[in-house]
């Protein structure tokens, strides 16, 4: 650039350049303009103005150190100079620096303006005491009545601190209000869930005839977050379209978020499809909801549609993709996404890098997880926790070494760190970890306490685990109580389970399930259904585990009517009838209650079967005398690729015993080791001996007993001797009958 003409003309050109640069600031343009300002020297007519503009440009770009250098190098300053640097510090969260500059400003004899105090009050990190002092200064200087800017900033300050009464007082006392003031108050009510107040204020705003902005709608839409708010949300949506704001991406994103919260994924997806404008945030809102609901397949489908829509993914998108790949356990897809992340220079980003660590850890590729961890430029506790959890889930002792390393480099572990390390800790490590937990003050943390109890129980120190009941005076918090109750249940101390959980003031669904299961195991069947009735009365909705306990009682009582009623209730309460766990129990219940048609109907209607499903049906068929059909189902199971386990083979052998299929039973027994790799256990031998002696094959039965790899128990001998006795009686009766003839 060449300069001709007088000195003032050059400065006017520079002012024009600064003005045009402020519309779209960039560091690339700001630095040359700064250099020109220094080269030309101060303008005699406006010695401060140019430098104030340079400070503003640097501050808007977040270049605080550069802005401060310009400020410190100024020979003369005015109120605008101080306001620019104070606002910059406040905007970036450096409240202490902002307040220090504010004191310097006052010491230099400058009176604060509405922009000085408004800038300070707008800082998110301003504490309440400091805000109250600034409010006093606002009142003293008469700025509250003079300008709407300070009042709006003060309203926002109280809103951020949840002081809604004070915010309302400020709003009502303001002599003048602009659209930003109204929007700020509406947004404050919305953020704190006061939907009715939010709507009341919005109606008042509409009545003022002030033209609405996109922020007017965004503030109220963000307040709608439950199914009850859906109708209201649809009305606001109509108003958005009427006012032409459906072309504003900020409003579209708020609407998508509202429909996700109030109506679910499908309506939100339709809104996204119909929206005339979309960005990465629009897509991320729905994709994030799908990932949260563990609907990873649908999430990946939407991500592909996002790419087809030519919307460029951001860090959040990549985090969702990686989480979906981890959830679906598809390492190849995750690795290709990792390549895209490297291509976009995001591997060092803490959020994306942590997601990659978690992905590789879940795919049991700890070496790759460690490499991704080392590439993160600014690690945080979450990054460390992701790596520690990966090692802990793979039962690696490296988890505790990572904790030690984490402490050495200056990171403070949190409750999740300790919980992850406790997952794989051995006995001698557990005691050391417990000491560290106490030292760092986490011993009363519910999450850490629960993990400690589980770790003690897993290491065989059940008495130490149960000691927490006496150490922490019952009733304790819900989660540790549930864990201890679970230990009591497994130890057969059902009365202790009921005693412990009865002390909880607000038991959750897990507490109810544990106590119902305890009563079922203890044979208190009447109490099981009394508890179930009480559970529903207090609005705790039963889940699959609840119904499994209730169905097991129906099975033990052989009460078909009761079991059928429960099945009807499962369907009525919209518990997923295709849930494999519940369907397996239903097949077993109907089979043991003699309704084999119902068992087969449930089996045929299932979309997701496992070995247990097949075993339940084979057992039901055998128990009801359909031995041939049971064996046919067993062969069908094998044909479909399900490998029988020891229980499935036992169910088939039992069917042979009930149906008298000696040859088939012998063949199946001989194939156990050869075809399925299963070593016969005592139950298999007992079933085979019973089958053989029941049909007169005493010598074969005796041979089987003699060749057992372990000593036969009393049940096998009793079965054999009873068979011999029956055979002897039958022979005597036949001989006597022959003699009589």
Half-sphere exposure (Cβ direction) of 414: Cα atoms closer than 13 Å: 9
DSSP 8-class letter at 62: T
DSSP 8-class letter at 474: S
Cis-peptide into 611, omega within 30 deg: no
Average pLDDT over residues 595-621: 92
Cβ atoms of 342 and 322 within 8 Å: the answer is no
| Per-residue pLDDT at 353 | 94
| Per-residue pLDDT at 352 | 94
pLDDT above 50: residue 709: yes
CA dist., res. 279 & res. 372, Å (int): 28
pLDDT above 80: residue 467: no
DSSP string, 69-112: HHHHH-SS--HHHHHHHHHHHHHTT-HHHHHHHHHHHHHTTPPP
Kindly report, residue by residue over 228-284, the tens digit of the pLDDT: 888 888 899 998 998 888 888 899 989 999 988 888 888 888 888 888 888 999 999
CA dist., res. 459 & res. 427, Å (int): 6
Cβ atoms of 175 and 181 within 8 Å: the answer is no
Cis-peptide into 276, omega within 30 deg: no
pLDDT band at 40 (very low <50, low <70, confident <90, very high): low
How far the first Cα of the chain sits from its last, in Å, is: 135
Cβ atoms of 186 and 205 within 8 Å: the answer is yes
pLDDT above 90: residue 398: no
Average pLDDT over residues 99-106: 90
| Per-residue pLDDT at 579 | 79
- 439 Ramachandran zone, left/alpha/beta (phi>0; psi -120 to 50): alpha
CA dist., res. 487 & res. 452, Å (int): 13
Range of weakest confidence among 43-52, 325-334, 574-583: 43-52
Residue length, the chain? 741
Nearest alpha carbon to residue 317 among 287, 296, 275, 274 = 287
* Residue given tokens 């705790």 in the structure block: 540
Nearest alpha carbon to residue 620 among 580, 588, 653, 652 = 588
Sign of CA dihedral 199, 204, 206, 210: negative
Q: How far is the CA of 335 from the CAs of 76, 113, 360, 368, 582, in angstroms?
A: 58, 56, 9, 10, 36
CA dist., res. 329 & res. 296, Å (int): 10
pLDDT band at 10 (very low <50, low <70, confident <90, very high): low
Q: Which of 3-7, 286-290, 483-487, 571-575 has the highest mean pLDDT?
A: 286-290
Kindly report, residue by residue over 44-98, the tens digit of the pLDDT: 555 677 777 777 878 777 788 888 888 888 888 888 889 888 988 888 888 899 8
| Per-residue pLDDT at 561 | 94
| Per-residue pLDDT at 552 | 92
Residue of higher predicted confidence among 42 and 283 = 283
Average pLDDT over residues 645-668: 92
pLDDT band at 38 (very low <50, low <70, confident <90, very high): low
pLDDT band at 734 (very low <50, low <70, confident <90, very high): very low
CA dist., res. 415 & res. 590, Å (int): 46
Cβ atoms of 482 and 506 within 8 Å: the answer is no
Share of the chain above pLDDT 90, in %: 26
Average pLDDT over residues 637-646: 90
Cβ-count burial of 89 within 10 angstroms (0-12 exposed, 13-18 middle, 19+ buried)?
buried
DSSP string, 237-282: HHHHHHTTGGG-HHHHHHHHHHHHHHT-HHHHHHHHHH-S---HHH
**What tokens does 169 get?**
């007082």
pLDDT above 60: residue 116: yes
| Per-residue pLDDT at 5 | 45
CA dist., res. 654 & res. 630, Å (int): 10
DSSP 8-class letter at 227: G
pLDDT above 80: residue 460: no
CA dist., res. 366 & res. 384, Å (int): 13
CA dist., res. 111 & res. 395, Å (int): 65
Cβ atoms of 611 and 642 within 8 Å: the answer is yes
* 3-state percent breakdown (helix, strand, coil) of the chain, nearest 5: 75, 0, 25
- CA angle, 595 as apex, 591 and 601 as ends, to 5°? 85
Kindly report, residue by residue over 516-558, the tens digit of the pLDDT: 988 888 888 888 898 899 888 888 888 888 999 999 999 999 9
Cβ atoms of 230 and 236 within 8 Å: the answer is no
Average pLDDT over residues 420-446: 85
| Per-residue pLDDT at 11 | 55
Cβ atoms of 56 and 18 within 8 Å: the answer is no
pLDDT band at 423 (very low <50, low <70, confident <90, very high): confident
Kindly report, residue by residue over 331-379, the tens digit of the pLDDT: 999 999 999 999 988 999 999 999 999 999 998 899 999 999 999 988 9
Average pLDDT over residues 451-470: 76
| Per-residue pLDDT at 3 | 43
DSSP 8-class letter at 378: S
Half-sphere exposure (Cβ direction) of 12: Cα atoms closer than 13 Å: 6
Q: How far is the CA of 676 from the CAs of 282, 641, 661, 670, in angstroms?
A: 52, 12, 21, 10
Host H or E run for residue 324? helix 315-328
Cβ atoms of 505 and 475 within 8 Å: the answer is yes
pLDDT band at 470 (very low <50, low <70, confident <90, very high): low
| Per-residue pLDDT at 741 | 46
Kindly report, residue by residue over 150-207, the tens digit of the pLDDT: 888 888 899 888 888 988 888 888 888 889 999 899 999 988 888 888 889 999 998 8
Mean pLDDT of the residues in the chain: 85
**What tokens does 335 get?**
């690795």
DSSP string, 130-165: HHHHHHHHHHHTTHHHH-HHHHHHHHHHHHHTT-HH
Nearest alpha carbon to residue 355 among 332, 327, 391, 394 = 327
| Per-residue pLDDT at 617 | 95
Range of weakest confidence among 188-192, 684-688, 734-738: 734-738
Nearest alpha carbon to residue 647 among 624, 615, 678 = 615
């Amino acid at each position: 650039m060449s300069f001709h003409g007088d000195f003032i003309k050059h400065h006017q050109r520079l002012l024009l350049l600064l003005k045009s640069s402020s519309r779209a600031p960039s560091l690339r343009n700001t630095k040359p303009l700064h250099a020109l300002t220094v080269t030309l020297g101060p303008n005699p007519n406006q010695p401060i103005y140019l430098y104030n503009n340079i400070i503003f440009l640097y501050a808007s770009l977040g270049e605080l150190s550069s802005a401060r250098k310009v400020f410190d190098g100024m020979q003369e300053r005015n109120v605008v100079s101080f306001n620019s640097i104070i606002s910059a510090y406040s905007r970036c969260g450096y409240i202490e620096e902002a307040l220090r500059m504010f004191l310097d400003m006052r010491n230099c004899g400058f009176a604060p303006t509405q922009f000085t105090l408004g800038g300070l009050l707008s800082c998110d990190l301003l504490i309440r005491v400091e805000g109250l002092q600034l409010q006093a200064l606002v009142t003293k200087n008469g700025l509250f009545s003079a300008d709407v800017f300070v009042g709006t900033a003060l309203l926002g300050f109280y809103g951020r601190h949840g002081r809604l009464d004070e915010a309302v007082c400020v709003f009502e006392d303001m002599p003048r209000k602009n659209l930003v003031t109204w929007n700020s108050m509406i947004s404050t009510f919305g953020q704190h869930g006061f939907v009715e107040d939010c709507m009341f204020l919005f109606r008042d705003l509409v009545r003022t005839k002030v033209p609405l902005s996109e922020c007017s709608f965004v503030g109220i839409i963000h307040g709608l977050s439950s199914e009850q708010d859906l109708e209201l949300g649809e009305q606001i949506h109509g108003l958005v379209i009427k006012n032409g704001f459906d072309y504003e991406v900020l409003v579209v994103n708020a609407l998508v978020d509202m429909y996700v919260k109030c109506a679910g994924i499908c309506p939100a997806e339709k809104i996204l499809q119909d929206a005339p404008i979309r960005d990465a945030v629009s897509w991320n809102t729905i994709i994030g909801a799908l990932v949260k609901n563990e609907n990873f397949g649908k999430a990946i489908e939407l991500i592909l549609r996002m790419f087809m829509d030519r919307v460029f993914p951001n860090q959040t998108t990549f985090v969702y993709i990686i989480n979906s790949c981890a959830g679906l356990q598809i390492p190849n897809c995750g690795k290709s996404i990792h390549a895209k992340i490297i291509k976009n220079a995001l591997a060092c980003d803490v959020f994306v890098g942590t997601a990659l660590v978690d992905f590789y850890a879940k795919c049991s590729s700890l070496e790759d997880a460690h490499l991704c961890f080392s590439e993160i430029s600014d690690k945080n506790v979450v990054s460390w926790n992701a790596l520690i959890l990966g090692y802990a889930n793979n039962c690696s002792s490296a988890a505790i070494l990572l904790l030690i390393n984490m402490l050495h480099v200056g990171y403070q572990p949190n409750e999740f760190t300790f919980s992850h390390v406790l997952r794989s800790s051995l006995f001698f490590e557990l005691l050391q970890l417990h000491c560290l937990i106490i030292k760092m003050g986490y011993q009363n943390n519910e999450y850490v306490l629960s993990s400690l109890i589980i770790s003690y129980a897993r290491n065989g120190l059940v008495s130490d685990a149960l000691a927490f009941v006496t150490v922490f005076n019952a009733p304790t918090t819900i989660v540790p109580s549930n864990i201890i109750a679970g230990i009591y249940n497994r130890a057969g101390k059902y009365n202790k389970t009921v005693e412990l959980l009865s002390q909880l003031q607000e038991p959750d669904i897990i507490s109810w399930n544990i106590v119902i299961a305890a009563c079922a195991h203890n044979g208190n069947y009447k109490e099981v259904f009394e508890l179930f009735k009480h559970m529903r009365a207090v609005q705790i909705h039963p889940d699959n585990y609840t119904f499994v306990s209730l169905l097991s009682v129906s099975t033990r009582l052989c009460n078909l009517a009761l079991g059928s009623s429960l099945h009807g209730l499962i369907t009525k309460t919209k518990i997923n009838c295709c849930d494999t766990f519940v369907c397996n129990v239903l097949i077993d219940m109907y089979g043991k209650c003699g309704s084999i048609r119902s068992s087969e109907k449930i089996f045929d209607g299932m979309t997701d079967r496992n070995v247990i499903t097949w075993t339940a049906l084979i057992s039901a068929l055998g128990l009801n005398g359909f031995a041939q059909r049971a064996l046919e189902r067993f062969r069908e199971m094998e044909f479909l690729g399900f490998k029988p386990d020891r229980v499935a083979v036992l169910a088939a052998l039992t069917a042979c015993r009930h149906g008298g299929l000696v040859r088939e039973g012998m063949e199946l027994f001989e194939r156990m080791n050869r075809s399925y790799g299963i070593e016969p256990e005592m139950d298999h031998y007992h079933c085979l001996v019973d089958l053989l002696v029941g049909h007169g094959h005493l010598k074969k039965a005796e041979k089987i007993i003699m060749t057992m790899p372990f000593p036969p128990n009393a049940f096998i001998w009793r079965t054999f001797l009873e068979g011999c006795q029956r055979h002897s009686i039958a022979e005597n009766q036949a001989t006597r009958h022959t003699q009589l003839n």
